[in-house]
Amino acid sequence: MDAKKTKSQKKTIAKKAKTGKLGFVPILSIGIIVAIFSIQIVNNLDLIGKNSGRIEELKQQHNHKRIKNEALRQKVDAPIDDEYIREIMREKGYRDIDEDVYYLNEAD
């Protein structure tokens, strides 16, 4: 009788292996793993979307700084002429030789 039981058990195990039936726990484990990976993918896609906006903002800032640097480089490389010296003098509060300075009396 034991030989018949073991034969039938072997046949049952072989049938389950052929049909690919898995137990509840392995299917649940695979489902949980797939869910975790799906959540991670969605989170990563969200971060990519947020970072792409930041990348565009940084590219614009970079272009603005590059243009500003080029303007400063041209100003530094330009020869110093009399008009530039007069402009700097006026900014510092000095006057040219042929300019007259008039003071307004604001008390009147």
Which alpha helices (H) appear in the chain, and where do they start and end? 2-19, 24-77, 82-92
- Name the least confident of 38-52, 54-68, 91-105: 91-105
Of the candidates 48, 29, 30, 52, the one whose C-alpha atom is nearest the C-alpha of residue 40 is 48
In this predicted model, which residue has the larger pLDDT, 71 or 102? 71
Task: Tell whether the model's pLDDT for residue 67 goes beyond 60.
Answer: yes
Yes or no: say if 77 and 67 are a contact pair by the CB < 8 Å rule.
no
The pLDDT of 59-76, averaged and rounded, is: 93
The pLDDT of 30-41, averaged and rounded, is: 94
The pLDDT of 47-57, averaged and rounded, is: 89
Q: What is the pTM of this model?
A: 0.41
Domain range annotation of the chain: 33-95
Task: Tell whether the model's pLDDT for residue 96 goes beyond 80.
Answer: no
The pLDDT of 46-73, averaged and rounded, is: 92
Sign of the C-alpha dihedral computed for residues 59, 61, 67 and 72 taken in this order:
negative
Task: Tell whether the model's pLDDT for residue 58 goes beyond 80.
Answer: yes
